A and B are shown apart, each in its own frame.
Chain A
Amino acid sequence: MKLTLRVWRQQNAEAPGAMATYEVDGISQDMSFLEMLDTLNEELILGGDEPVAFDHDCREGICGACSLVINGDAHGPERTTTCQLHMRSFDDGDTIDIEPWRASAFPVVKDLVVDRSSFDRIIQAGGYISAPTGTAPDAHATPVPKPDADSAFEHAECIGCGACVAACPNGSAMLFTSAKVNHLNVLPQGAPERETRVLDMVATMDDEGFGGCTLTGECATACPKGIPLPSITAMNKEWLRATRKVRR
């Protein structure tokens, strides 16, 4: 495959960026999108140019490190992470636009790399339990109803990649925050911090400069792990309950 890539290049956080155009040839349909970018970078390095910086780690769709808005879609045209996106999703001769996540809470560090530590601070505000768990307990020590366990697991699938923020026209982190809040709030282990968790995580989300939710549903469409839009509704319900129940 021969492709034309238009890639966002930005030297550092302060420098202005722009789209740069590159031609790559000899791309196999079996390559992942990141392997295609590796090929581009090898050519850039051989030509004495600076390689394109992009985030990646496990390359098997479970770590949440990779990002990239590809042709206007977070993680590209398939519902998966960029590392699990393959070049068979594109055609020979295509022009592909590659941009970083765009949100004021995710400042660009370099090229396609953004700083997602604002997500870490949301987690720090309440994405944990304080119950001492000790060694692994017996599986039946704390009974959890099956629907609750399923719901917790569905939300625990969130890998914190930030595609929801990148896709949202308001740069909102509601889907991420709701996944983390619901994951722990439906479980008995998360009950002691049920109110403070949702209040503090939503407050930190606001403080970090994420936008509000207008329920466009773009986040849930972009999410590679399929966190559903009703998660946001469930978090709103938890938040409203917490404003009434929290100890002041």
Chain B
Amino acid sequence: MEMRRFMSWTDEDFPSSVVSMALATRTDRRPSMTRTLWDSSVGKKTIMAVSGLVMLGYLVVHMLGNLKIFFGSDEFNHYAHWLRTLGEPFLHYEWALWIVRVVLVAAVVLHAVSAYQLSRRDLRARPTAYVHRKARSSYATRTMRYGGVILALFIVWHILDLTTGTVHSGGFQSGHPYQNVLDTFSTWYGNVIYIVAVLALGLHVQHGFWSAAQTLGVGSATRDRVLKTLANVLAVVLTAGFVSVPVAVMTGVVS
């Protein structure tokens, strides 16, 4: 009875346009989860966080693998060969490597496209700069965009240098990565490009890892110190680990 009275009151007192608008809103279907993620700034940040963590996980393994260079050419070359036979006999030769490559390319593309679109949105949202300017955020935070571009360019050079050998300085020999690495780090520009990129990586990871935690909703006031420390440790360990290789070649520790 109560319900009936309420309904009739609604019908009489509201213009039909209001009622139909309410109905239209109620029948409006929400877009799928993928669509919601891609269309939202928060969703795109989630895509950036996940793809960034995938790349970060790869980099930790890559850095540890690089350190094998300190155990001599046999062990380093053998490790490189093992990467190609990984997963055999279930997987064919080099399939594991290609799976990793496909996942990484997907991560790089999603990360870069999201970053580009979010940056466009951010710049549009603040079209007029303040006359009185102050730089307050940390260096790592302010250089995320430039750092990302540096890293993207580096990845292209790095693959052309040590995977395909297209722009390699010495005679590139497939299957002899130890010698190829020595060749690259025997040139001044090889060292400069590599070290600049690795420093950019350290800064990118320092802000990026902590940011990813916030975007994924893992951070909290009590966990903040742990996450910031973890970000700093990751940044320093990755930078030191990667830089140690060109430094070792330059100083003759690895020859």
Residues of chain A at the chain B interface (Cβ within 8 Å): 6, 8, 19, 69, 71-73, 97, 99, 102-105, 168-172, 199, 202-203, 205-206, 209-218, 221, 228, 230, 232-241, 243-244, 246-248
For the complex of A and B, list the 4 residue pairs with the smallest distance between their C-beta atoms, beginning with the closest. Answer: A237-B217, A211-B125, A171-B125, A170-B122
Which of chain A's residues have a CB closer than 8 A to the CB of B216? 236-237, 240
Knowing A218-B137, A233-B219, A248-B29, the reply to whether A212 touches B122 (Cβ < 8 A) is yes
Among A97, A168, A202, the residue within 8 A (CB) of B132 is A97
For B125, give its contact among A105, A218, A237, A248 (CB under 8 Å).
Answer: A105
In the complex, what residue of chain A is closest to B219 when comparing beta carbons? A233
Between-chain CB contacts (< 8 Å), 11 pairs: A73-B134, A211-B126, A214-B211, A215-B211, A215-B214, A233-B218, A235-B42, A236-B216, A237-B216, A239-B40, A239-B42
Option from A73, A97, A232 in Cβ contact (under 8 Å) with B214: A232
- Say whether B124 faces chain A, with CB atoms less than 8 Å apart: yes
Among B43-51, B53-61, B97-105, the stretch that binds chain A is B43-51
Instruction: For the complex, give the distance between the alpha carbons of A214 and B41 in Å.
Output: 11
Q: Which residues of A contact B37 (CB under 8 A)?
A: 243
The smallest beta-carbon distance between B111 and chain A, in angstroms, is 14
Assuming the contacts A103-B125, A170-B125, asked whether A69 and B130 have C-beta atoms less than 8 A apart, the reply is: yes
Residues of the B chain whose Cβ atoms lie less than 8 Å from the Cβ of A243:
33, 36-37, 43
Residues of B contacting A202 in the complex (Cβ-Cβ under 8 angstroms)? 40-42
Q: Do residues B127 and A104 form an inter-chain contact, with CB atoms below 8 A?
A: yes
List residues of chain A with CB within 8 A of the CB of B131.
6, 8, 19, 97, 99
Q: Select one of A230, A244, A247 contacting B224, CB under 8 A.
A: A230
Question: In the complex, which of the residues B42, B44, B124, B144 has the most CB atoms of chain A within 10 Å of its own CB atom?
Answer: B42
Assembly CA distance A104 to B121 (angstroms): 11
Cα(A212)–Cα(B220), bound, Å = 20
Contact status B45-A212, CB under 8 Å: yes
Q: Which of B40, B44, B211 has the most CB of A within 10 A?
A: B40
Q: How many residues of B contact A (CB 8 A)?
A: 47
Smallest CB-CB separation from A209: which chain B residue? B125
B112 vs chain A, min Cβ distance (A): 15
A105 vs B32: C-alpha distance when bound (angstroms): 27
Contacts of B132 in A (CB 8 A): 69, 71-72, 97, 99
Please measure, in the bound complex, the distance between the C-alpha atom of A218 and the C-alpha atom of B32, giving whole angstroms. 33
Of B130, B134, B213, the contact of A102 (CB 8 Å cutoff) = B130
Q: How far is the CA of A230 from the CA of B43 in the complex (A)?
A: 18
Q: Measured between alpha carbons, how far is A232 from B32 in the docked complex, in Å?
A: 23
* Contact present for B30 and A104 (CB under 8 Å): no
For residues 61 through 78 of chain B, which have their beta carbon under 8 Å from a beta carbon of chain A? none
B8: which A residues are within 8 A, CB to CB?
none
In the assembled complex, which residues on chain B have CB atoms less than 8 Å from the CB atom of A215?
Answer: 141, 207, 210-211, 214-215
Smallest Cβ-Cβ distance to A195: which chain B residue: B30
CB-CB under 8 A from A230, the residues of chain B are 214, 219-221, 224
> Which of B29, B130, B142, B220 interacts with A72 by CB under 8 Å?
B130
- Please, which residues of chain A bring their CB within 8 A of the CB of B215? 213, 215, 233, 236
Q: Besides the contacts A169-B122, A211-B126, A247-B30, what 5 more A-B pairs have beta carbons closer than 8 Å?
A: A170-B126, A206-B121, A214-B122, A237-B217, A243-B33
B144 touches A214 (CB 8 A): yes
Q: Which residues of B contact A241 (CB under 8 A)?
A: 217
Q: Are the C-beta atoms of B126 and A104 separated by less than 8 Å?
A: yes
Contact check, B42 vs A236: say whether CB atoms are below 8 A apart: yes
Q: Is B118 an interface residue (CB 8 A)?
A: yes
A239 contacts which chain B residues (CB < 8 A)?
Answer: 40, 42-43, 217
* B136 interface residue per 8 A CB criterion: yes
